[in-house]
Amino acid sequence: MIKFKDNFYFGSASSATQSEGAWNEEGKGKNIWDYWYETERFRFHNEIGPYEASTFYKNYKEDIKLLKETGHNSFRFSISWSRLVPDGFGEINKKAVEFYNNVIDEMLINDIEPFINLFHFDMPMCMQELGGWENREVVEHYANFAKICFENFGDRVKRWFTFNEPIVHVECGYLLGYHYPYKVDPKGAVQVAYHTSLASALAIKNYKELNQKGKIGIILNLSPCYPRSENKWDLKASFIANLFANKSFLDPAVKGCFSEELIEIIKKHELMPNYIKEDLDIIANNTVDYLGVNYYQPRRVAARASLPNLEAPFMPEYYYDYYVMPGRKINPHRGWEIFEKGIYDIALNIRDNYGNIEWLITENGMGVEGEEKFLVDGIIQDDYRIDFYKDHLRWLHKGIEQGSNCIGYHVWTFIDNWSWLNAYKNRYGLVSLDLNTQKRTIKKSGKWYKELSEKKGF
C-alpha cells in the first residue's frame, strides 16, 4: 500500500475568478477578465466568460459540505483583490470581508484548513489601467492588499500564498497574446516578472511584520525540462529552457536572488528591467517559508533546428525547439503530455537544490472533454482520473521516501469550473456541475478521494 503520513494534506484548489461568480455584485470592482469579457467576447471559448463561474459566492455553504464529503482536510481558494478592495487601494469592501470570513469560518467548523492565495491571474482593472505589473506603484498597492488580507483573516488562516503561477501572467499577458493585456513585449515581460517577484517578497515582509505565526509561500507551475538526447546542444537547450520555465521564479522565491545565467541572457538581449538596489534587498531578505507546486506536464526540448528570426520579438524559444517525444502519453483533451515521474523529479530537485524546503503539490489534474458520456446512474465514472491521481501519487510517495519534504497533495479541482482559455470544455472536478441547474454531483473520483484521504493512501 502507498501510505502517507497521518497529517498529510489532502485537498484541492480553486480560484476566485473561476469559482465565485457574482462578478459585479455586492461592491466588487472589475478585474481584467470582467473587463476583457465585456469588451471582446469573441476571444473566449464559445463566448463563455467569467460571469458564468460556478457560483461559490452564493453556494459556499453547500460547496464546503461537498468538500467534507470528498475527504478534504484542506482547501485552497483565492481572495479576489477587486472584490476586497474595489479601487485597488483605499476603501475595503465590507461585504467582501464578511464573505471571506464566512467561508473561512465554515471551513474551520468542518475541520478543513484554509490555504489562501492572494493573486490568481486577476488584476483589478483599475490597477491594470495604471500599467499593472509594469508599474512599481501597483506592486505597493498589491502589498497593501496582502496586508489587508492578513489583518482581516490571519487570526484563523495560517497558510498563505502570494501568487499562483506567476509565470503565466508574464508569458500569457506579455509574450503570447493569450491573456489580457495580450501584449507581445519582451522587455515589458521581464519588468512584469521582476516586479512580481518583488511584490511577492513585499507581501512576505508585511506578513512577517505582523508576526501571525503562520507560513507564507508562493505557488509555481514547475515543468521539469528534459533534453531530447545527451547531445551537448540538446543539453544546453534544456538547461536554458529550465532557466526560463522554472528557475526564473524559483530562485528569487527560495534563494532570494536571480540566476546568473538567466541574467546574462536577459542582458544579452537588452531586456534588463528597471530596478533599484533596495528592492533587490527586499527580495533577498524575504524568501518563502514553503512552496506550492502545480504539476501538469514536462517540457521536452531539443537544440534549435533553424535560426531564430532576429527581427521578431524575443521569446525564450530563441534558444530551443519543443521536442515531441514519440510514444509519449497524452491527455488529448488538453494536449498536455502526462508524465507521472515528473513529480518525483521535482521532489528531488527541491530536496537537492532548494534546501529541501517544505512543499506540497498545489495542483495536479486532468481535464476531460465530454464527460457526460461516462455518466452511469447519474454519476460520472471517471476511472481515468482516479488512475491519473494514483500514478502521480506513487511517484510522489517515492520522492517522499527518498527524503523530499512534501506535506500534501491538492488536486485541480474540486467542482468543474470555468477555465481561462477553455471555459467549460474540459472538466477537472471531483464533483460535476450541471451548467443549467448548477446542481453538483460527486463523481466516482470524488468518492475515491474521500477514501484516499481517510486511509491516507491506497
Residues 2, 393 contacting (CB under 8 angstroms):
yes
Q: Smaller CB distance to ligand BG6: residue 381 or 422?
A: 422
Q: Is 334 in the site for ligand BG6 (CB under 6 A)?
A: yes
Q: Is 164 in the site for ligand BG6 (CB under 6 A)?
A: yes
Q: Smaller CB distance to ligand BG6: residue 178 or 322?
A: 178
Q: Is 78 in the site for ligand BG6 (CB under 6 A)?
A: no
Residues 140, 133 contacting (CB under 8 angstroms):
no
Concatenating the DSSP letter of every residue in 301-320 gives EE--SS---TTSPP-GGGS-
- Closest to 428 (Cα-Cα) out of 437, 418, 436: 418
The number of residues that bind ligand BG6 (CB under 6 A) is 15
**Residue 62 known to be catalytic:** no
Distance CA 219, CA 128 (A): 22
Q: Is 356 in the site for ligand BG6 (CB under 6 A)?
A: no
**Residue 363 known to be catalytic:** yes
Q: Is 165 in the site for ligand BG6 (CB under 6 A)?
A: yes
Minimum CB separation of residue 44 from ligand BG6 in Å reads: 13
List C-alpha distances in Å: 382 to 322, 432, 452: 31, 11, 15
Q: Smaller CB distance to ligand BG6: residue 166 or 399?
A: 166
Minimum CB separation of residue 367 from ligand BG6 in Å reads: 5
Q: Smaller CB distance to ligand BG6: residue 154 or 367?
A: 367
- Closest to 429 (Cα-Cα) out of 391, 399, 385: 385
Q: Smaller CB distance to ligand BG6: residue 409 or 420?
A: 420
The grid coordinates of residue 271 equal: 531586456
When binding is defined by CB under 6 A, the residue of 244, 412, 414, 449 that contacts ligand BG6 is: 412
Stretch that binds ligand BG6, among 76-84, 105-113, 228-236, 414-422 (CB under 6 A): 414-422
Q: Is 221 in the site for ligand BG6 (CB under 6 A)?
A: yes
**Sign for the pseudo-dihedral over CA of 299, 302, 305, 309:** positive
Residues 415-444 that bind ligand BG6 (CB under 6 A): 419-422, 426
Q: Is 119 in the site for ligand BG6 (CB under 6 A)?
A: no
Strand partners for 376: 379
Minimum CB separation of residue 196 from ligand BG6 in Å reads: 15
Residue window 273-312: x/- pattern of binding to ligand BG6, with contact defined by CB under 6 A = ---------------------x------------------
Distance CA 11, CA 30 (A): 29
Residues 362, 292 contacting (CB under 8 angstroms):
yes
CB within 8 Å of 418: residues ≥ 6 apart:
17, 18, 19, 48, 49, 50, 52, 53, 54, 424
**Sign for the pseudo-dihedral over CA of 105, 414, 397, 336:** negative
Residue window 30-49: x/- pattern of binding to ligand BG6, with contact defined by CB under 6 A = --------------------
Strand, helix or coil for residue 440: strand
List C-alpha distances in Å: 11 to 64, 341, 404: 12, 21, 20
Q: Smaller CB distance to ligand BG6: residue 78 or 212?
A: 78
Distance CA 160, CA 114 (A): 9
The one catalytic residue among 134, 165, 340, 371: 165
Question: What residue is closest to ligand BG6 based on CB?
Answer: 419
Minimum CB separation of residue 219 from ligand BG6 in Å reads: 8
When binding is defined by CB under 6 A, the residue of 122, 337, 363, 416 that contacts ligand BG6 is: 363
| Catalytic (active-site) positions | 165, 363
* Contact set with ligand BG6 (CB under 6 A): 15, 18, 164-165, 221, 294, 334, 363, 367, 412, 419-422, 426
